[in-house]
Structure 1
Amino acid sequence: MPVNESIRLDNQLCFAVYNANRLFNKFYQLALAPFHLTYAQYVVLLALWEEDGLMLHALGRRLHLESNTLTPLLKRLETAGWLIRRRSPEDKRQLFVHLTDFGRRKQSEILQAVQHCGRQTDLTEDQYRLDLKKIQDLNAALRKSIADMEAEH
Structure 2
Amino acid sequence: MVSEGKNKVSERWQDIDPDDRLAHLIRHAARSLVRGLQIRLAEHNVLFGHWAFLRILWEEDGLTQHELNERAGLMEPTTYSALRAMESLGYIERKHMAGNRKNLYVFLTETGKQLQDKLVPLAQEVNSVSTRGLSDDDVQTCRRVLLGIASNMAHDEARFEDVGRRLPSTRELSVWIKQAEQLRANEA
| Common fold by TM > 0.5 | yes
Is residue 33–residue 126 contact of structure 2 (8 Å, CA) maintained in 1?
no
1:24-57 deviation digits (Å, cap 9, x = unpaired): 2211111211112222211110000000111111
CA distance in 2, matches of 1:88, 1:138: 40
The aligned runs of 1:123-138 (5 Å cut-off) are 123=134, 127-138=138-149
- Percent sequence identity is 24
What is the DSSP-based 3-state SS (H/G/I as helix, E as strand, rest coil) of the residue aligned with 2:102?
Answer: coil
Q: Aligned partners of 1:58 and 1:126: how far apart in 2?
A: 36
- The answer to whether the 8 A contact 1:55-1:97 is kept is yes
Contact 1:41 1:77 survives alignment (8 Å): yes
The aligned residue for residue 147 of structure 1 is 158
- In the alignment, the residues of structure 2 paired with residue 130 and residue 64 of structure 1 have an alpha-carbon distance, to the nearest angstrom, of 26
Residue 25 of structure 1 is matched in structure 2 by 34
For structure 1, which segment, 70-79 or 59-68, has the greater mean C-alpha deviation from structure 2 after superposition?
A: 59-68
Looking at structure 1, the residues matched to 160 and 154 of structure 2 have their Cα atoms a distance apart, in angstroms, of 10
Q: Is 1:69 paired with 2:54?
A: no
Shift of 1:100: 0.2
Please state whether the residue corresponding to 2:74 is helix, strand or coil: coil
Of 140-149 and 120-129, deviating more is: 120-129
* Distance (whole Å) between structure 1 residues aligned to residue 135 and residue 115 of structure 2: 27
Unmatched runs of 5 consecutive residues or more in structure 1: 1-7
Change (3 A) 1:149 1:129: same
The answer to whether the 8 Å contact 1:9/1:15 transfers is no
TM-score relative to the length of structure 1? 0.82
Conserved 8 A contact 2:38-2:47: yes
Which runs of no fewer than 5 residues in structure 2 stay unpaired?
1-16, 166-188
Tell me the SS of whatever aligns to 1:10.
Answer: coil
Q: Cα RMSD between the aligned structures?
A: 2.2
Kindly tell me the number of residue pairs found equivalent between the two proteins. Answer: 146
